[in-house]
Amino acid sequence: MLSLQPLPGDKMILSDFELKRMISSKKLTVEPLSEDTIQQNGIDLKINDEIAMGTKRTDADCIDATSNEDIKRFYKIIKSKDESFTLSPLHHYLLSTREHLELPNDLMGFCGLRSTFARLGFVSPLTIIDAGFNGTLTIESFYGGSAPIKIPVGCRFLHVVFARLTTKVDAPYRGHYQNQRGIKLPKAVT
């Protein structure tokens, strides 16, 4: 049986100490950085003032996932007017982070909802931040609660755990979502 043991001195998941060190040395960028951003084994990110809501359609409607224009028809972008969002139950949302991240070529991140949001009825798939990524994050979430819920702009909703790669990647992330700011709708599937 193969045993994957870290080599002496290897770091896997970064602690608060290591995250502070990387941010202060500018190897990892998190802006703006608040006092409550760095946690024991990751960072907490805040909801920005713009979200996208998946629009409900009839069963006769079908998203053509190969068409960027068709995908756009199924989302409504909402800008906060009063420092909060009221989200409807049983809807799909795209939430963006207030913080801008820039990862070096030997660091990646695992994103998950903070447990408070999960306990309120939100579900979100695991999202990966690739080595070399630069921008804000757009996170898919489904609100499965039974009543509308009011969420303040700027509240911590996402936890990111960082892992150091064994080497720098040969090809840092340069995909469709590089340098994104605010909500970025899904790209067409190719």
pLDDT at position 144: 96
How many Å apart are CA 74 and CA 102, to the nearest integer?
A: 30
Q: What is the pTM of this model?
A: 0.89
Residue 112: CATH number of its domain: 2.70.40.10
DSSP state letter for 37 = T
pLDDT at 73: 87
Q: How far apart are CA 100 and CA 48, in angstroms?
A: 11
- Domain membership flag for residue 125: yes
What digits encode the pLDDT tens for the residues 80-139?
988 999 999 999 999 999 999 999 999 999 999 999 999 999 999 999 999 999 999 999
Residue 9 domain-assigned (yes or no): no
CA distances from 2 to 5, 13, 165 (A): 9, 21, 20
Distance CA 26, CA 128 (A): 21
- Provide the mean pLDDT of the chain: 92
> ω before 32 within 30° of 0 (cis)?
yes
Note whether residue 190 is domain-resident.
no
Residue 34 maps to a domain:
yes
Structural domain total, the chain: 1
Q: Is residue 181 one of the residues assigned to a domain?
A: no
Domain annotation covers residue 104: yes
- Domain range enclosing 99: 16-164
Residues carrying an active site annotation: 140
3-class DSSP state of 89: coil
DSSP secondary structure code for residue 171 in this structure:
S
**5 domain-assigned:** no
Q: Please tell me the distance from the alpha carbon of residue 157 to that of residue 162, in angstroms, as a whole number.
A: 17
Q: What is the pLDDT of residues 15-67, one digit of tens each?
A: 999 999 999 999 999 999 999 999 999 999 999 999 999 987 777 778 888 98
